[in-house]
Structure 1
């Protein structure tokens, strides 16, 4: 695969940040105003993503590539596990506890990649997680309550999410495919799996507001808009991980967390304290420090490569 330029990486990260924040705000409206079922909405997101990719493939935006179904099933399963355990974690934990546990995803990814994929991370990169973890803790300090079941669900969610994100990058390199080609297979598989479990986890979904046809038209419109934005989110996630790394994607996730808190304050008038502001600043400092270190390491590698070629 062709190596992306700094400009394309920046644009990819920007697209992911903008689309992710947009879908959070849209979904928050859907959930708070109408209590729309979570797993059903995720299934709709993946179905719309599948349709979007099919349309792109037909329009020759990309060429589909045959991938072995047996090797794609684990990726689809871990996505469903990530959705299930994330929802269970949110259901059994406070938002503060959920956010703190979520910060463990980055170190978990590093452990998996170092232990099983022979990847290495500098001490400087690992140290950037300290201000991020402290920042998230300060932001969530007044909403932290631990319980055994919640910790179990959150821990499983961290592990499955980490595994999923690692595999998104590894599968792209293993099969030598781009983000669209990989998502073209994964989205329909995950959508079908979630569709099968919906009757068990959300049995009242079809009686929501009486029947599917009786849902308010503006709610259906917002759900479809959410699906279109989800298509952009899913595509940008695969692109960012495939062209950078799962760790970089997680660092961008911390940035999105900070921006979401600020936008929640500006748009929904969610309360924000001085302690939360301090937490946001610490988290942002960790993300900026990580970016600085990674750029420095990339420049160092770029200098070493020509020298080794001459030798």
Structure 2
């Protein structure tokens, strides 16, 4: 009886954990859709070129929102902070990441900006290897390679290079990769929830950005808003989205990893491209649209393969030796060795079992 009751107890938390990850991934994908469009709309349509000031509005909204959430213990969150050094270092890296991603978006063409985003996963893997020697299996690298190649084929069109834009892109990629690694490691190190760690760095991020605005964008006060205040409404909208998106990014990275967070972001890009073909099908397919469809197919193949391999790897870490879809083509040496040793043990046990059965008979 006890053996039967243990199984549901083990599967229930796993299902609950998977559900939480799916929830964070869904929120993260949906909430990432409007902000890039709004960031491009402000300078082009309303002449609001103050990237840091817009970022400051987002951090102020996040700080106020999370202060209320933690003070009133909504969602079961209590006030808990990281150590001062980790707090300010993580906050500073987060400010640099967001600010220079915005600078890169303004200074570069859309195609080069997409390449910048594709570079984050390789840089994350490189930082992990350089710092702790952590590596990933070639099977994961194959799936990530397919994903990045597919997204690149489907999204990268015009590429215009300039020195300032390249500098912004390099800083953006390095700081984003490091910030996302810290988003996961600092949560685990200090035992914080997604809401607690976002609240912990929210005020430092606001103060750092405020100081940057005073130095870099002092003329923001001279900006004239439109008479119908549509631009003000858009700023408020992006603030609402940003304060929830900040929490969801910590939540997803805390439950998975920085690489998985990037994979979810690219899944969002594929979703946008696919929805365009589904809801607005072209009368005929041009060469560019065929290229986009091919890239979309390759990217989806990479995403599905990545999810499958990560799932199988998790099962193997728990002792399950079930193969994955690459074993017939590209067998994993470790898995193959484990399987061979298991077969050898079975071969050694079989004669003993037969001998015991013969003695009994």
Question: Which bracket does the TM-score occupy, shorter chain normalised?
Answer: 0.7 to 0.9
- Unaligned 5+ segments in structure 1 are 306-311
What CA distance in whole angstroms lies between the structure 1 residues aligned with 2:303 and 2:148?
Answer: 11
Q: Which runs of structure 2 are paired with 1:137-286 in the superposition (5 Å)? A: 137-209=152-224, 216-261=228-273, 273-286=289-302
Which residue in the other structure is 1:104 paired with?
119
Which residue in the other structure is 1:308 paired with?
none
Could you tell which deviates more after superposition, 59-68 or 173-182? 59-68
What CA distance in whole angstroms lies between the structure 2 residues aligned with 1:111 and 1:252?
Answer: 20
What CA distance in whole angstroms lies between the structure 2 residues aligned with 1:157 and 1:199?
Answer: 21
Which residue in the other structure is 1:90 paired with?
105
Q: TM-score, normalization: structure 1?
A: 0.85
Shift of 1:30: 4.5
Q: Deviations over 1:25-59 (max 9, x none)?
A: 55455454324332222111111111111111122
Shift of 1:118: 4.9
Task: Report SS of the residue matched to 1:303.
Answer: coil
CA 1:277–1:65: 2 relative to 1, 3 Å: same
Could you tell which deviates more after superposition, 177-186 or 296-305? 296-305
Asked if 2 retains the 8 angstrom alpha-carbon contact of 1:100 and 1:133, the reply is: no
Shift of 1:120: 3.4
Asked if 1 retains the 8 angstrom alpha-carbon contact of 2:81 and 2:197, the reply is: no
Task: Report SS of the residue matched to 1:273.
Answer: helix
Q: Deviations over 1:265-294 (max 9, x none)?
A: 869x9x973322322232222122111111
Which residue in the other structure is 2:312 paired with?
296
Asked if 2 retains the 8 angstrom alpha-carbon contact of 1:136 and 1:283, the reply is: yes
Shift of 1:152: 3.2
Asked if 2 retains the 8 angstrom alpha-carbon contact of 1:172 and 1:242, the reply is: yes
CA 1:24–1:259: 2 relative to 1, 3 Å: farther
What CA distance in whole angstroms lies between the structure 1 residues aligned with 2:35 and 2:82?
Answer: 30
Task: Report SS of the residue matched to 1:143.
Answer: coil
Q: TM-score, normalization: structure 2?
A: 0.74
CA 1:141–1:185: 2 relative to 1, 3 Å: closer
Q: Deviations over 1:229-287 (max 9, x none)?
A: 111111000000111100100101111222344567869x9x97332232223222212
Q: Which among 116, 123, 126 is matched to residue 138 of structure 2?
A: 123
CA 1:304–1:132: 2 relative to 1, 3 Å: closer
Shift of 1:217: 3.5
Task: Report SS of the residue matched to 1:66.
Answer: coil
Task: Report SS of the residue matched to 1:146.
Answer: coil
Asked if 2 retains the 8 angstrom alpha-carbon contact of 1:39 and 1:194, the reply is: yes
Which residue in the other structure is 1:132 paired with?
147
Asked if 2 retains the 8 angstrom alpha-carbon contact of 1:48 and 1:228, the reply is: yes
What CA distance in whole angstroms lies between the structure 1 residues aligned with 2:45 and 2:271?
Answer: 22
Shift of 1:116: 1.6
Shift of 1:102: 2.0
RMSD over aligned CA atoms reads: 2.8
Bigger radius of gyration, 1 or 2?
2
Shift of 1:139: 2.8
What CA distance in whole angstroms lies between the structure 1 residues aligned with 2:208 and 2:87?
Answer: 13
Aligned residues: 299
Which residue in the other structure is 2:67 paired with?
54
- Higher relative CO (CA 8 A, sep ≥ 6), structure 1 or 2? 1
